[in-house]
Amino acid sequence: MSQEQNTLNNSPYINRESSLLEFNRRVLAQASNENIPLLERLKYLCISSSNMDEFFEVRLASLLELADDPSAVTKPDGQKPEDVVHCLHNRAHEIVEEQYHTLNNVLIPELDKENIRFIRRNYWSEHQREWIRNYFSESLQPVLSAVGLDPSHPFPKVLNKSLNFIVSLEGQDAFGRSNGLAIVPVPRSLPRIIKLPPEATDGANDFVFLSSILHANVSLLFPGMTVTGCYQFRVTRNTNLFIDEEEVDDLMSALRGELSGRQYGGAIRLEVADNCPMHLIDYLLDRFNLNSESLYKVNGPVNLHRLDAVPGMAKRPDLLFSPYSQRSITANKRPSKNAFKLFTRHKETESLFDKIKQKDILLHHPYDSFNPVIQFLQEAANDPNVLAIRMTLYRTGEDSKIIRALEKAAQNGKEVTAVVELRARFDEDNNIIQATRLQDAGAHVVYGVVGYKTHAKMILVVRREGDKIRHYTHMGTGNYHHITTRFYSDFGMMTANPAIGRDASKIFQQLTSLGDTKNLEVVLQSPFTLKSGMVERIEREAELAKQGKPARIIAKMNGLEEKGIIDALYKASAAGVKIDLIVRGICSLRPGVTSLSENITVTSIIGRFLEHHRIYYFENSGGEPELFCSSADWMRRNLLARVETCFPVLDQDCFQQVYTEGLAIYLEDNTGSWRLQADGSYIPLSDDGKVAFNAQTSLIEKYSK
């Protein structure tokens, strides 16, 4: 065992950041999977690049901050942060090297076979070279500003993850200065890859990299001087926001101030062209106060994520996943009261509230359309019997129909309360805009609780029906985001169950008035009862196993890292409970360890859709089995530092659907599954001669019918 492996494996818990890198290995592996359409494989490469960016600017940045405290240790594995940082850099270097190997030696050759070509400078025809020169002069040069480095032009501020070039020069400029170096920042508005038009090439899908165009024409930016070298580089910065919420009077204003500086946080990583001379690399490392461990030499464009434009520009649907149709659940039609009029063609639409009152409605995204949730809000906005609408908003996306429905409701005189989480990472700007829109429309907007992100997914509609007030509730595992609901797997439930409605009402009171309303009836809530409720049920399964009764736990989530939950699972495993965990990303639990976790398996599903469900099943052979859906993973932040909900699935049909479609079929998957090993690595599951089965594909087929 290497020193690096020993550092990260000498604990009963897998290091969180190490597990995150292993997740990205699994994503990257999809780019080489020949069973996946070729342009989709390119997309997986782009996703892995984006994931690595976030790893450095968030996770590694947090570890470096932690390393400033000599007494700090990582959680839950208890390692010294500086040791972990060293190990993670080594693993990250391996992944980055594999990314560029996949691009240059796998994807580009296979794309070339499909006549999708990335033409390097050395292979440009004279005709192509002329078109590119004109393109540079007309479209690039007017917006490029080269910065010569001298006492009056110090090293410029370099934006986080922006494309830049360091240029070495000989000769003198117009003022007789001989500086030797310049920086050329490239505006983000410029495309990083350009498709050659028919007049410039005979190929239908010929592309050139922006970096190649600039390399070939950079001398035009320095008339009278000789360019002796031009090398791309990119710096990744710490994007964590630092706000002491207890010391600010206006969270929105404080966030606006911090967001403006996010692009200039401390440098974490330097990416540079692999042919850049060492003296220029040392110069850049010194400027960004980085050591050689933070240096990543790359053989290709420094931002692979920008290649995600290629599938759209190539217009080759045969190299993409086949389109699928979302199932649309709409309200049934019922005859108009005037249906006796023989020639009338008008029919009234049954109210969605009537349908929910009759039976809980379960939506399984992305296989089910998100439209019923939008319809739910739109009906509420226009229904004269609706008195109030309350909703949590974590991520909504731009130009959201959800926001428009809430605006309409407020304008129609409904009591609209929106709990907007301004601190949703990388969505802060958009959430500030949406919060302002809702305030302008007359809605009550609150920003949750100081120190606790509001991550719960809830809508509560209060409706007068005769002489009664009824609660209609939507709770879900995913965000109210119209785009991600087409690519993230999530459950959402619309119900008129009185207990769930009362609990949702109490939680909204808690968020808006800060009153103590923790005595919920059926819903578990972070940071109060969710963790203890889960541990209690895990311990109950352990006790049943000790009594010789059947005991089973199946749980599906995005991440598992909370030590108390892991310890309870270890004890349950030792007691004989069969535990199947389906964890897409981070998992700090070590499965299959003798006398610790022999009865635990951990599976990760990587597929066409991002697995986002949070589902918790407890067999409870002493009574009725329990099944919960939740907005919360079994992560410390979700269980102890956020406002989250975990709701029981009480309708028996919904129960069976969630169990089958959310848990059981994933345990049968043998084409998109990876199995976690005790050392923290993952191996792909094979069909072993069985019929190949893919959970996501089976659900697409089922819902398409």
Q: Output the domain CATH number for residue 514.
A: 3.30.870.10
Residue 57: both structure tokens together? 């600017």
Give me the pLDDT at residue 679, please. 95
Tell me whether residue 590 is in a domain: yes
Give the span between the Cα atoms of 112 and 304, in whole angstroms: 18
Domain termination site, one of 520, 550, 571: 520
Helix, strand, or coil (residue 55): helix
User: What does pLDDT average to over the chain?
Assistant: 90
pLDDT for the residue 176 = 67
For residues 487 and 554, membership in a common domain is answered with no
Clarify whether residues 490 and 623 are in a common domain. Answer: no
341 part of a folded domain:
no
Query: Is the pLDDT at 345 greater than 70, yes or no?
Result: no
Residues 631 and 672 in one domain: yes
Output the domain CATH number for residue 138.
3.30.1840.10
Tallying the residues shown for the chain, one arrives at 705
Please tell me whether residue 208 adopts helix, strand or coil conformation: strand
Q: What percent of the chain has pLDDT over 90?
A: 77
Look up residue 343 and give its amino acid. Answer: F
Which residue range forms the structural domain that includes residue 100? 1-113
Task: Give residue 6's pLDDT band: very low, low, confident or very high (50, 70, 90).
Answer: low
pLDDT value at residue 342: 35
- Rounded mean pLDDT, 2-8: 53
122 and 56 share one domain? no
CB atoms within 10 A of CB 485: 25
Q: Which of 152-156, 339-343, 387-391 has the lowest mean pLDDT?
A: 339-343
Same domain (yes/no): 260, 131:
yes
- Model pLDDT, residue 175: 64
Domain of 64, CATH number, reads 1.20.58.310
Contact 491, 360 (CB under 8 A): no
Establish if 561 belongs to a structural domain.
Answer: yes
Range in 63-72, 455-464, 606-615 the model is least confident about: 63-72
pLDDT tens-place string over residues 189-225: 999 999 999 999 999 999 999 999 999 999 999 998 9
Whether 604 and 575 map to the same domain: the answer is yes
* pTM of the predicted protein model: 0.91
Residue 465 backbone dihedrals phi, psi, to 5 degrees? -130, 100
Give the long-range contacts of residues 65-73, CB within 8 A, separation 24 or more: 65/238, 65/240
- Number of domains present in the structure of the chain: 4
CA distance to 76, 81, 268, per residue, from 69 (Å): 17, 9, 18
Q: What is the predicted pLDDT for the residue at 448?
A: 73
Q: Is residue 250 part of a domain?
A: yes
In tens, the pLDDT along 48-96 reads 999 999 999 989 999 998 988 889 999 999 999 999 999 999 999 999 9
* Least confident interval from 372-376, 510-514, 673-677: 510-514
- Position 625, amino acid: P
Residue 36, in any domain of the structure: yes
- Percent of the chain's residues with pLDDT above 70: 89
**pLDDT value at position 255?**
43
**Nearest alpha-carbon partner for 696 in 366, 371, 476:** 366
- Structural domain contains residue 368: yes
Query: Does residue 270 share a domain with residue 141?
Result: yes
Which of residues 61, 96, 113 is at a domain's end?
Answer: 113
Both 126 and 108 in a single domain?
A: no
pLDDT reported for residue 436: 84
Q: Which residues of 192-210 are buried (b: 16+ CB within 10 A; e: fewer)?
A: bbbbbeeebbeeebbbbbb
For residue 656, give the amino acid letter.
Answer: Q
pLDDT of 447 reads 82
Give the Å distances, CA to CA, from 50 to 47, 129, 305, 308, 494: 5, 31, 6, 10, 34
Q: Which residues contact 77 (CB under 8 A, 6 or more apart)?
A: 8, 11, 13, 14, 15, 16, 588
Q: What is the CA radius of gyration of the chain?
A: 28
* 168 and 239 share one domain: yes
**How do residues 27-53 score in pLDDT, each as one tens digit?**
999 999 999 999 999 999 999 999 999
Q: CA 641 to CA 622: how far, in whole Å?
A: 33
Residues taking part in catalysis: 455
Assigned domain for 337 exists: no
Pairing assessment for the beta strands 267-273 and 295-298 based on DSSP bridges = parallel
Cα separation values, 293 from 55, 153, 276, Å: 15, 29, 17
Q: What is the DSSP secondary-structure string of 602-656?
A: EEEE-SSSEE---EEEE--TTS--EEEEES--BSHHHHHSEEEEEEE--SHHHHH
Backbone angles phi, psi at 640, to 5 degrees: -125, -15
User: How many CA within 13 A on the CB side of residue 343?
Assistant: 0
The amino acid at 262? R
Per-residue DSSP letter, 81: H
Q: Are residues 130 and 89 in the same domain?
A: no
Predicted confidence (pLDDT) at residue 245 exceeds the cutoff of 80: no
Tell whether 165 and 92 lie within a shared domain.
no
Which residue intervals of 420-548 are DSSP H helices?
428-441, 498-513, 530-546
Q: Which are the contacts of 693, defined by CB distance < 8 A and separation ≥ 6?
A: 668, 669, 670, 671, 687
Which residues lie below 8 Å from residue 553, measured CB to CB, with a gap of 6+? 538, 541, 569, 572, 577, 578, 579, 580, 616, 617, 618, 619
Number of alpha helices (DSSP H) and beta strands (DSSP E) in the chain: 22, 29
Domain boundary among 309, 340, 360: 309
Residue 539 lies in a domain: yes
Name residue 147's beta-bridge partners.
Answer: 183
Q: Does residue 368 share a domain with residue 254?
A: no
